[in-house]
Amino acid sequence: MTASTPTDLLPLYVDLDGTLTPSDTLHESVMRLARQTPLALLRLPLWLAGGKAALKQQLGDQVTPDPATLPWREDLIEVLRAERAKGRTVVLASASDIRTVRAVADHLGCFTDVLGTEAGGPNLSRAAKRQAIERHARGLGYERWAYVGNSRDDLPVWDGAAEAWAVNAPAGVLQALRADHPQARVFAREPLTLGTVLKAIRLKQWAKNALIFVPLLAAHSLEPQAWLQALLAFVAFGLCASATYLVNDLLDLPSDRVHRIKRHRPLAAGRMGIATAVVLGGIMLVAAFVLAASVSIGFTALLLLYTATTLAYSVRLKRLALIDVLVLSALYTLRIGAGAVATGVDLSNWLLAISIFLFLSLALVKRCAELEELVDEHSTLAPGRGYQASDLPSLRAMGLSAGFMAVLVLALYIDSQNSRALYAHPDWLWAAAPVLLLWLMRIWLKTGRRELVGEDPLQFALRDRFSWLTLLAMGLIGALATHGLPHLS
């Protein structure tokens, strides 16, 4: 075609990573490899030593992202389909491994051809991509072509294009692009906001770390230094937990994206990039251990144990039926133990026993709520879990039993010497048993009624008025057991 060919008839070459999808298929492949074969990550430096093209080839031999689970720029895809319907040649041109590029093109069905990084060839980015596009366009009989990209790496490609489209492009890239293409077509970028970051690190889940303060409350300690240590421990645990939540979401990307609720999480929805999450998680993890070291060596060791257990849970343990809920209850109880170590308070075996049974019951509430959702969706197997819908009656029985055991241990504690030594009026504690029992039975009743579907029970409790009244009642009972009724003069 001659140089006078209208731009809307020129072949249109479309970038993949960051453009067609807000994610990056190379990063997606690394996450899939981490989930399937974690030890294989040790090979990444060796693969990268052979060049980026060799790295993509090696990763492609191991894993390929499933296009059906990737987030897409639906507005762009709709336009591309319209262009294809007009008879325009639309080519997917990406630096990703050619097998991934073909899989995406087959899935979306709006491309006439593909260009990608092939075995033994160069990494198809920047100048190499431009050259490949020029050769491809000439093969079709065109001297000019159009390009859709998003990043600074695409500037050399846009320089040779007759028409430019920008998708998700940062302000600096748009400024440089418009110097040569003032009429560039722009698909707006959704900026990464503080709200998105806070949602990704699950700031609301920091409420669970309030368990750090339980040993101080149970010991009736008012020592300011101990409370300061507990506060530092709380922040350290929060940072560490947020980092491991990011790891969990990175490993769970495929299953989260097909989940009714979890697909809206920032990573699953593509509102936060994988690289951003990795960097943010690393910073928070380092900060957590710096704070932990300022508390004590013992607390640092427990935080390390928590981190290792949580990562093992994310990689493997959460897919093992029953093991997963035991690990969850242990992680909650570990927070209480860490609070005791951080503040130098002696930890009561009674408190540990109550915690283990109580949090086991709540962990089973969470699993039952997920299985209730499966029943509603007429599915039989929980994705990424080791449970089936038919397990629901058994899990419900286990959860109720664990809750009742927590109340039983509390009742035994009330009549123990430990209780009489710590409380001036321990008989008041008998009122705590029915209050806790009522709260647990109500949680389980709501689970059976599908009122907790897709929700963490502790997060539900934070916004539940009855739960706050229960907490207030327990605090009042504790005060009465400690000081008795006030004397009226």
Q: Which residues contact 75 (CB under 8 A, 6 or more apart)?
A: 187
What percent of the chain is predicted at pLDDT more than 70?
95
185: β partners: 165
Q: DSSP secondary structure string, 204-221? A: GGGGGGGGGGHHHHHTT-
Which tens digits make up the pLDDT trace of 231-251?
Answer: 999 999 999 999 999 999 999
> How confident is the model over 16-44, as pLDDT tens digits?
999 999 999 999 999 999 888 888 889 99
Range with lowest mean pLDDT among 252-256, 258-262, 354-358, 402-406? 258-262
pLDDT of residue 358: 95
Per-residue model confidence as pLDDT tens digits over 77-120: 999 999 999 999 999 999 999 999 999 999 999 999 999 999 88
The DSSP output letter for 165 is E
One-letter amino acid of 220 = H
Q: Is the pLDDT of residue 380 over 90?
A: no
Interatomic CA distance for residues 315 and 15, integer angstroms: 32
Cα–Cα distance between 191 and 171 in angstroms, integer?
A: 11
Name which of 269, 245, 247, 249 is nearest 257 in CA terms.
269
123 burial (CB, 10 Å; 0-12 / 13-18 / 19+) is middle
| Beta pairing class for 12-14 and 90-97 | parallel
3-state DSSP call for residue 97? Answer: strand
Cα separation, 229 vs 232, whole angstroms: 5
**Sign of the dihedral through C-alpha 424, 430, 432, 433:** positive
pLDDT higher than threshold 80 for residue 399: yes
Specify the pLDDT at position 357.
96
Q: Which residues pair with 165 in a beta bridge?
A: 148, 185
Rg for the chain, CA atoms, rounded: 28
Distance CA 28, CA 274 (A): 8
Report yes or no: 107 and 115 within 8 Å, Cβ to Cβ.
no
Residue with tokens 């093969």: 139
pLDDT at residue 43, rounded to an integer:
92
Residue whose C-alpha is closest to residue 206's, from 241, 231, 230: 241
Phi, psi of 170 (to 5 degrees): -65, 160
Per-residue pLDDT, 295? 95
Helix H or strand E encompassing 284: helix 274-295
Residue 488: the pLDDT is 46
Residue % of the chain over a pLDDT of 90: 74
* Residue 96 DSSP one-character state: E
Distance in angstroms (rounded) separating the CA atoms of residues 453 and 369: 5
d(CA 317, CA 251): 13
Q: What is the mean pLDDT of residues 175-179?
A: 94
Report yes or no: 322 and 402 within 8 Å, Cβ to Cβ.
no
Q: Are 15 and 148 in contact (CB under 8 A)?
A: yes
What residues contact 65, with CB distance under 8 A and at least 6 apart? Answer: 25, 28, 29, 32, 100, 103
The pLDDT of residue 260 is 79
The yes-or-no verdict on residue 128 having pLDDT over 90 is yes
Confidence of residue 282 (pLDDT cuts 50, 70, 90): very high
Give dist(CA 360, CA 356) in Å, integer. 6
List for the chain the helix, strand, coil content (%; round to 5): 65, 5, 25
CA angle 182, 186, 187 (to 5 degrees): 175
Instruction: State the DSSP string of 293-352.
Output: HHH-HHHHHHHHHHHHHHHHHHHTGGGSTTHHHHHHHHHHHHHHHHHHHHHTPPPPHHHH
pLDDT number for residue 452: 81
Average pLDDT across the chain, whole number: 91
Q: Which residues contact 306 (CB under 8 A, 6 or more apart)?
A: 237, 240, 331, 334, 335, 338
pLDDT at residue 261, rounded to an integer: 81
Residues 265-285 have a mean pLDDT of 95
Average pLDDT over residues 257-264: 85
* Predicted model pTM: 0.86
> Is residue 153 within 8 Å of residue 161, measured between CB atoms?
no
